Homo-oligomer: A and B are copies of this chain.
Amino acid sequence: MAKISLGKGINMGLRAAMENDPKVLIMGEDIGKLGGVFRVTEGLQKDFGEDRVIDTPLAESGIIGTAVGLALRGYRPVCEIQFDGFVFPAYDQIINQVAKMHYRSMGKLKMPIVIRIPFGGGIGAVEHHSESPETLFAHVAGLKVVACGDPVDAYWMIQQAIASDDPVVFFEPKRRYHEKAELDESAGATYPLYKAKVVREGTDATLFCYGPMVKTCLQAAEAALEDGRNLEVVDLRTIAPLDLATIFESVKKTRRAVVVHEAPLSLGTGSELAARVTEECFYHLEAPVLRVAGFDTPYPPSRMEEEYLPDLDRVLEGVDRVMEY
């Protein structure tokens, strides 16, 4: 069993998918010789050639728009968007074409497209490089939206996303690309793609999180032990659809919930989760579902990002509030 980084997990997952299915293509800016700005596609063009690992012109609408055509021709394109802030030129193609094709064709046409987006902050980057735009996809019917939080999930989830016949927006927590974990490739993908995972069992309250915040929440849960609090941590993994069964089960057990994400508070994942949980678990809740999230401003210059991003302290402060409500 090898210890691999999250970035390497994606890389190996892409490789496996390409080996298993000659229809899998990857496309994006700088993904060839350079191996992508995060080196996630390193070595793939060398091994699979320029026709399957396509360095595209610098035009994101073109990436997704041609991917639609390739998908209609029977290919399974995996599109890399270089940074979260640069997906918007492609937004029309994603919202109006990719998301709607299956519906408007009444099921005749499939869009097995994966849109990989390194997302979130914490890497000291300049503007547009630290966004968390998941709501802008999760609200859109026809898309599925997932985020991986650790290297093992990264490896399996990317393969499952590629195998999915629905279009998947695949968020990768860029500041966790170098986090490492043991991967047992022979294990097979036993955990379903569209299912949340209890990554830490607890009794007093549940922290819901995904992507980069999984590590933060696990750390917060450890720290909370000092205050005598035993927190459950649920890695949502799938943002659209939310895995409500797992979510409700946890809340019914702990009766208190805090949702944690980097994305701005208003209309973030936490708002839908809070609304659903309240509807379903109204009489189980000891306190309203609270949210620890990015503020409702644009992402700040990086010298302030540590303050902007939910960290262990802010998560614990949220826990305090939900416990003392």
CB 8 Å contact bits of A136-152 with B (1 = contact, 0 = none): 10111110000000000
Whether A268 is near chain B, meaning CB under 8 Å from some CB there, is yes
Q: Which residues from B are CB-within-8-Å of A91?
A: 88, 91-92
| Contact indicator B127/A264 (Cβ below 8 Å) | no
Q: Check A92 against B95 for contact (C-beta < 8 Å).
A: no
Closest beta carbon of chain B to A284's beta carbon, Å: 11
Main secondary structure on A side of the interface with B:
mixed
Set of chain B residues within 8 Å of A272, measured between Cβ atoms: 266-267, 271
Which of A141, A263, A275 gathers the greatest number of chain B CB atoms within 10 Å?
Answer: A275
Given A278-B278, A288-B278, do A296 and B266 touch, yes or no (CB 8 Å)? no
A198 at the interface (CB under 8 A from B): no
Complexed CA–CA distance, A289 and B278 (Å): 8
Q: Does A240 contact B (CB under 8 A)?
A: yes
Assuming A89-B92, A275-B278, what are 14 further A-B pairs, CB within 8 angstroms?
Answer: A88-B92, A99-B298, A103-B297, A135-B135, A135-B139, A139-B263, A139-B268, A240-B266, A242-B266, A267-B272, A270-B275, A271-B272, A274-B274, A275-B291
Q: Which residues of A contact B (CB under 8 A)?
A: 61, 85, 88-89, 91-92, 95-96, 99-100, 103-104, 127-128, 135-136, 138-142, 240, 242, 263-264, 266-272, 274-275, 278-279, 282, 287-291, 295-298, 325
